[in-house]
Amino acid sequence: MKSITAITTWCIALLASTALAKEHAGIDLAGVKHPVKPMLWKVEGKGLEQPSYLFGTIHLADKRLTTLHPAAQEAFDQAGAVYTEVDLSVASQMKTVGLFMRKEKKTLQQLVGDDLYAGVNDELKTINPALDAKPFDQFKVWAIGVMLPVMKEQLSGALPLDVQLWNRATKAGKKTGALEKMDEQVGKLDQLTMDEQIHLLDVTLKFLKKAREQGIDPYQELVDAYLTGDTGAVEEIYNQDSYLGIKMDPKMLKKFYRLMLDERNVNIKDSILKVFAKNKNQSSFFAAGAAHYIGDTSVIKLLVDAGYKITRM
């Protein structure tokens, strides 16, 4: 099962992508080997004997993204411990399958209706002609909505940046840990009503179909912003409410951001503070989706309010 971090990032990208083309100071982003500027911040103060680092990730497998900027690589190498959003060990990820399943007896078709069910079948066929919706019959509706866009990459076996960081840390003998529990992350999406889950699935299917018809890479704007290290562009993307004319219900969008960013930012901050309290003499590397480190409710803002000095690297 693909990590929920990758899945929820798709959801954020889908809900908040912008169709505005941007110039990137003449940089040939197709030719770069790693981000031009890393999403990296140094944390100091309040008795920390060694600086720690906040690293904003993007949950995709593009080699330009998974190859760290030298400054980020140096921070990663010197850290004694690496923390990702959730436990990304193989054993832990295998256990997540049950979190995506419904307990009720209704079929997916009964829940979403014939038209939407047919749309799921059609989308699966574009990924692989041998696929259909039957194996996903007991999956939660929100899970179908957020799995479809990453399924092709998942089937290829490509590992997103966060998973690669976990694996590299394990191989290097570093301590690894999670900032959240997997069921807590998934539990946030479980707070969507059935109508909201159906709306999410409907919007996802319409968006994927339109992007495919127009030959558009739905991740391109987000990837470009990440490669340039442009936090302003990333924040602008997350502040949009539609893409290709496909718009999410404003109330649902607000709820989604509250659940998946604002509330989780508080949890991530609390976990970081616990690490600091136990390991003041150790440098730690905290890798979480870049959106968690940007904006007025970000983890960075919360840590600054707690008295720490944070500097963009």
pLDDT by 10s per residue, the chain, length 313: 444 444 454 454 444 443 333 445 567 788 899 999 999 999 999 999 999 999 999 888 889 999 999 999 999 999 999 999 998 888 887 778 888 999 888 999 999 999 999 999 999 999 999 999 999 999 999 999 988 888 887 788 888 999 999 999 999 999 999 999 988 888 899 999 999 999 999 999 998 888 888 888 877 888 888 999 988 888 777 776 666 677 888 898 889 889 999 999 999 999 999 999 998 899 999 999 999 999 999 999 999 999 999 999 9
> Up-side HSE of residue 280: CA atoms within 13 Å toward CB?
7
Backbone angles phi, psi at 176, to 5 degrees: -120, 150
| Alpha helix positions (H), the chain | 4-16, 63-66, 70-78, 90-95, 108-112, 114-127, 141-147, 151-156, 161-171, 182-190, 194-214, 220-228, 231-238, 250-257, 263-278, 299-305
Tokens of 2: 């693909």
pTM for this predicted structure:
0.89
